[in-house]
């Protein structure tokens, strides 16, 4: 059987932490920033972890 390919879009957007969790960026922080408050933009700037409910789907994209 052939090897499974990693989804190239997921490869660019997600990173693995040392403890095996998956880091992601927040949405809504790329454009139309003038109408968003400083607090909202500041909170979107941090990285977030992929939720437990989504881990199986993300692992299939990253072929972990």
pLDDT of residue 37: 98
Find tokens 């490869």 and name the residue.
Answer: 11
What pTM was computed for the model? 0.80
Residue range 19-52, pLDDT digits in tens: 999 999 999 999 999 999 999 999 999 999 999 9
DSSP string, 11-62: HHH-EE-TTS-EEEPPSS-SS--TTS-HHHHHHHTS-EEPPGGGHHHHHHHH
Cα distance from N-terminal residue to C-terminal residue, the chain: 17
Q: Higher pLDDT residue, 56 or 1?
A: 56
């Amino acid at each position: 059987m052939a090897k499974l390919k990693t989804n190239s879009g997921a490869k660019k957007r997600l990173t693995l932490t040392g403890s095996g969790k998956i880091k992601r960026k927040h949405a809504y922080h790329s454009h139309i920033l003038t109408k968003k408050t400083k607090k909202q933009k500041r909170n979107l700037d941090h990285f977030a972890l992929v939720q437990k409910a989504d881990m199986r789907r993300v692992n299939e994209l990253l072929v972990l």
